[in-house]
Chains A and B, each alone.
Chain A
Amino acid sequence: MAAGAAYPTGSLLAPVTLAAVHLLTIGWLTLLVFGALHQFVPVIAARSQATGWPALLSLLVIVVGLAGMEAGFLALADLLAPRAIPLLPAGGTLVLAGAALAAAPIARTLWSARPLAFSARFASLGLVFLLATLGLGLTFALALAFSETIQWAAMPTDGLRLHVLSGLLGWFTLTAMGVSYRLLSMFTLAPEERGALGSAVLWLSAGGLAAAWLLGAMEASGLAVPAALSTLAYVALALGGALYLFDMGRMLRARRRPKLELNAAGAIVALAAFSLCLLGAVLATITGRLQEMAGPLGYLFVFGWLSGLGLSQLYKIVPFITWLERYGALLGKQPVPRVQDLVDERRDRPWFVLYFVAVGAGTLCAALGSTLEWRIAIGGHLLATLMIARALWLARSGKPRLVQPRPTAIGGSRSLPTTGS
């Protein structure tokens, strides 16, 4: 994107844009969400989960499938030979198979934990929307690859809207909502019980989205749907999103850990990005400029909200997993670092700041149509992302900042393992 491909005010259906979008949504976000679910559905459901080889196999199948899809898109853009076009549906089939393989143990764990905890309900619904997204995506892939035999007139309009709705809002956002409720309450010591407001968030967001999707599917199939009904579904969806943001604010204000760690601070900025997207989408709809603003808003949604939340939570999850692998078995036997000692917030905070500032600037440039400034902003975005990736790499491979001293005699001096940042 920094090199000038997939500019967000261009056509979403341009093959190069589709290649970039799917690299992001499958290669980055879907793998990220599956990784998060493999780790945290057992926490959400308070059940152990066997992942092992199905998770590894699903990762390989999805990556190979995505490579096929990318080759197919590039062939559609005349950047590869036309004979590579059938790789698009073939790759899409592999992605669907890989996703099913990854989702099966997660779904099984959730099923065994009924009645589901509040946050687990969002994750379950997210999986349903994943299936809808991939099913539609595969249909598109077939229609794009074999346009002479398979024709779907509604694909660029209603079909695309359904694909985006179920993917960005259903699979990614509903799951992110559930995981964020659980993780942020856990990490900030905030009350997890969300009461009636939480139920309203779930019903309005998931119910509104399901209704909007089903009504859209009926329209795409040529059935007449009263406009008021569709509007009502979208209003419920927007209200659900607004209530979620309000409830997260309420939860974070009630936290017992006043000092926010970098992962929680980053999540708050991501929530702010979600708020701006919601506000922007509502205003653009009212003023009839949704089509025009879809690119900038989509960029802010994918990078400010979803990726911003993902990167900030990885900043806690990666050191946590590393700690479990490296130090878990040593606990109680010898001095071990804290999870937080595996990262250096002072070193990494500027990169998170640059990340969000660059995404904000990029959104503004895209909205104003400033191409050069957009590419500069994306350059900053790329640099910040690379430096955050480096911080995650160092959390796994570097040395912890300090190891707590062990008291020389049991019951002696209070040399507690409590010092730190």
Chain B
Amino acid sequence: MSDTELEATLTEALKEVLDPELGYNVVDLGLIYGIEVHSGQARIALTTTTRGCPATDYIREGVESCAASVGGISAAEVVMTWEPPWTPDRMSAEAKTHFGVAA
């Protein structure tokens, strides 16, 4: 599988990880700021809906462990970032519909 295909597979896999408070997956919430895969090594940029969120470590570890379980990924590194800060505008159309957020 190419790196690009692995990135797509990884993105789909991360839809299993949810933000516990909003109860929606981190991908559609727009909390994944970037995914790069090089030779099976994944690097994921992740944010939280609010800085200092008490669930931050758990979400980071959840994303890391989910990514590492994807076939073809040999190692996964998750980097937390809050720049730029997350806003509801980052949600997918599906998530916006779920929450009633105006597009």
Q: Which residues of A contact B (CB under 8 A)?
A: 39, 42-47, 186-187, 189, 256-259, 320-321, 323-324, 327-329, 331-333, 336, 338-341, 404, 406-407, 410-411, 414, 416-418, 420
State whether B16 touches A407 (Cβ < 8 A): yes
* Contact of A336 with B101 at beta-carbon distance under 8 Å, contacts A418-B23, A420-B23 already known: no
* Contact of A340 with B23 at beta-carbon distance under 8 Å, contacts A256-B101, A404-B18 already known: yes
Is residue B52 contacting chain A, with contact meaning CB distance below 8 A?
yes
**Proximity string of chain B (64-99) to chain A, C-beta cutoff 8 Å, 1 when within and 0 when not:** 111001110000000000000000100000010011
B59 to chain A, nearest CB (A): 7
Most buried by A among B50, B61, B69: B50
Within the assembled complex, what's the spacing in Å between the Cα atoms of A47 and B16? 28
Minimum CB distance partner of B5 in chain A: A411
Contacts of A338 in B (CB 8 A): 18, 20-21, 23
State whether B20 touches A418 (Cβ < 8 A): no
Within the assembled complex, what's the spacing in Å between the Cα atoms of A320 and B19? 11
Within the assembled complex, what's the spacing in Å between the Cα atoms of A192 and B53? 14
Contacts of A256 in B (CB 8 A): 88, 99, 101-102
Within the assembled complex, what's the spacing in Å between the Cα atoms of A218 and B70? 70
Most buried by A among B53, B54, B71: B54
B92 to chain A, nearest CB (A): 10
State whether A331 touches B50 (Cβ < 8 A): no
B65 to chain A, nearest CB (A): 5
State whether A324 touches B13 (Cβ < 8 A): no
State whether A336 touches B18 (Cβ < 8 A): yes
* Contact of A332 with B20 at beta-carbon distance under 8 Å, contacts A42-B54, A258-B100 already known: no
Contacts of B16 in A (CB 8 A): 332, 406-407, 410, 417
Minimum CB distance partner of A42 in chain B: B52
Minimum CB distance partner of B50 in chain A: A186
State whether A417 touches B52 (Cβ < 8 A): no
State whether A328 touches B55 (Cβ < 8 A): yes
Contacts of B70 in A (CB 8 A): 410
Within the assembled complex, what's the spacing in Å between the Cα atoms of A340 and B18? 12
Q: How many residues of B contact A (CB 8 A)?
A: 40
A161 to chain B, nearest CB (A): 37
**8 Å CB contact of B9 from A186, A407, A411:** A411
State whether B20 touches A331 (Cβ < 8 A): yes
State whether A414 touches B15 (Cβ < 8 A): yes
Within the assembled complex, what's the spacing in Å between the Cα atoms of A42 and B57? 14
Is residue B51 contacting chain A, with contact meaning CB distance below 8 A?
yes
Most buried by B among A43, A187, A417: A417
Minimum CB distance partner of A331 in chain B: B62
**8 Å CB contact of A259 from B8, B95, B100:** B100
* Contact of A418 with B28 at beta-carbon distance under 8 Å, contacts A324-B54, A332-B16 already known: yes
Within the assembled complex, what's the spacing in Å between the Cα atoms of A146 and B65? 64
State whether B23 touches A328 (Cβ < 8 A): no
State whether B52 touches A44 (Cβ < 8 A): yes
Given A331-B59, A411-B12, 7 new contacts (CB under 8 A) = A324-B58, A332-B65, A333-B65, A338-B23, A414-B15, A416-B24, A418-B25
Within the assembled complex, what's the spacing in Å between the Cα atoms of A186 and B86? 12
Within the assembled complex, what's the spacing in Å between the Cα atoms of A327 and B61? 12
State whether B99 touches A43 (Cβ < 8 A): no
Within the assembled complex, what's the spacing in Å between the Cα atoms of A123 and B8? 45
Contacts of A323 in B (CB 8 A): 20, 55
Within the assembled complex, what's the spacing in Å between the Cα atoms of A323 and B59? 12
15 contacts between A and B (CB under 8 A): A39-B54, A43-B52, A189-B49, A189-B99, A257-B88, A320-B54, A323-B20, A328-B58, A331-B18, A340-B23, A406-B16, A410-B12, A417-B16, A418-B18, A418-B98
B83 to chain A, nearest CB (A): 13
Contacts of A418 in B (CB 8 A): 18, 23-25, 28, 95, 98
Is residue B63 contacting chain A, with contact meaning CB distance below 8 A?
yes
A233 to chain B, nearest CB (A): 34
Is residue B17 contacting chain A, with contact meaning CB distance below 8 A?
yes
Minimum CB distance partner of B98 in chain A: A418
A16 to chain B, nearest CB (A): 40
Contacts of B23 in A (CB 8 A): 338-341, 417-418, 420
